[in-house]
Amino acid sequence: MQRALTILALLVGLSAGAALADDDCFVPMADWRPREAVARLAAENGWTVRRIKIDDGCYEIEGDDADGRRIEATVHPATLRVIEFHYKDGDGPRRPDREEKSEDRGRPRDQDER
């Protein structure tokens, strides 16, 4: 009896995990807000959009924040609520004074520039 309950609990746990791994945003397409509304949401948050795509039933925004950091935001397609947000670059804000100038690309650096 104990073994049967253990197996049953394991099966229930595994099936629940599979259900949670399904689409993050299960919403009928008729209820989706248009892509333009997602672009407006990004602009209101100060994000520059590189790409808006659909992933696991959600809108996914890839772009840059106002500080120039790469971002990725997952947005619910019906409510336009930001479900998940993270920085993709892993480091601090990009500083324009640190970016390499186009005429300097490919040029060997002097020892004191390194």
Q: What is the mean pLDDT of the chain?
A: 77
User: pLDDT for 3-53, tens place per residue?
Assistant: 655 565 666 655 444 444 445 799 999 999 999 999 999 999 999 999 999
Query: What's the rounded mean pLDDT across residues 54-64?
Result: 96
**What is the SS3 assignment for the chain?**
CHHHHHHHHHHHHHHHHHHHCCCCCCCCHHHCCCHHHHHHHHHHCCCEEEEEEEECCEEEEEEECCCCCEEEEEECCCCCCEEEEEECCCCCCCCHHHCCCHHHCCCCCCHHHC
User: pLDDT for 71-87, tens place per residue?
Assistant: 999 999 999 999 999 99
Pick the CATH number of 19-91 from 3.10.450, 3.60.21, 3.30.450, 1.10.150: 3.10.450
| Domain edges within the chain | 19-91
pLDDT score, position 101? 47
pLDDT score, position 89? 74
pTM of the model: 0.60
